[in-house]
Amino acid sequence: MKHHAIFLDRDGTINHDSGYVKDPSQIILLPGVSKGIKKLKDEFGFKAIVISNQAGVSKGIMTSGDVESVNDRINELLNNEGTGIDAFYYCPFHPDLDPPEKSNCRKPSPFMIVQAAEEHGIDLSKSYMIGDKASDVESGINAGVKTVLINSEDNRKEISILHNLGKKPNFTAANFKEVCDFIVNDFSGGI
């Protein structure tokens, strides 16, 4: 049986993005994230899978161990709320620093979403990509999933990037509660 999933960007979508997040003790989940993930998993059977660019590894700002420690802390905080992330995928490479065959996993490439779908039996036509950057939306579009852009302080720039590419998300949300409301309505056939 095929599953359906919410693919989530990490920094700026699940947790506060302070720039190259590498210290697990500083992880702060964004409002509504725990409750929203729990609802989508428990009531609607979604798998929750993180899809994240982590070029700070390639840039020498952090290690893969730092990324994994932050991922573990995110799941610890989510577990305290009765939920969690099913799998974390991240691309540690950057096209300016690494050969194309390594950095091809980087969003807006659909590489990580497709890999996760194959490894977890995900039906992409019933899945969603949630993020706060144009590259998240592009990655989702490229993978054939519906996309949700979360408004952040600098979202005008992200929306402008998408507009210039002739692309747009299926939905733009002010916060994670609106993300969940859209997905519940859309998945249930209400939109």
The span from the CA of 49 to the CA of 45, in Å, is: 13
**What pLDDT does residue 189 have?**
86
Q: How far apart are CA 152 and CA 49, in angstroms?
A: 21
66 is catalytic: no
pLDDT digit string (tens) for 151-163? 866 677 888 888 8
- The pLDDT confidence band at residue 15, using thresholds 50, 70 and 90, is very high
Rounded to an integer, the average pLDDT of 39-49 is 98
* Cis peptide upstream of residue 169 (ω within 30 degrees of 0): no
To which CATH superfamily is domain 4-187 assigned? Answer: HAD superfamily/HAD-like (3.40.50.1000)
Instruction: Give the pLDDT confidence of 51-101 residue by residue, as tens digits.
Output: 999 999 999 999 999 999 999 999 999 999 999 999 999 999 999 999 999
Q: Which helix (H) or strand (E) holds 75?
A: helix 64-80
Does residue 16 carry a pLDDT above 60?
A: yes
Q: How many CB atoms lie within 10 A of CB 52?
A: 24
Q: Report the percentage of the chain scoring pLDDT > 90.
A: 88
Mean pLDDT of 140-156: 88
Segment holding 190, helix H or strand E = none
| pLDDT band at 20; cut points 50, 70, 90 | very high
- 191: pLDDT strictly greater than 60: no
pLDDT value, residue 154: 62
* Rounded Cα distance, 31 and 44, in Å: 21
Q: Check 11, 66, 132, 136 and give the catalytic one.
A: 11
Q: Which tokens hold the place of 184? A: 């519940």
Active-site residue, 154 included: no
Looking at residue 151, its pLDDT comes to: 83
What's the confidence (pLDDT) of residue 104? Answer: 95
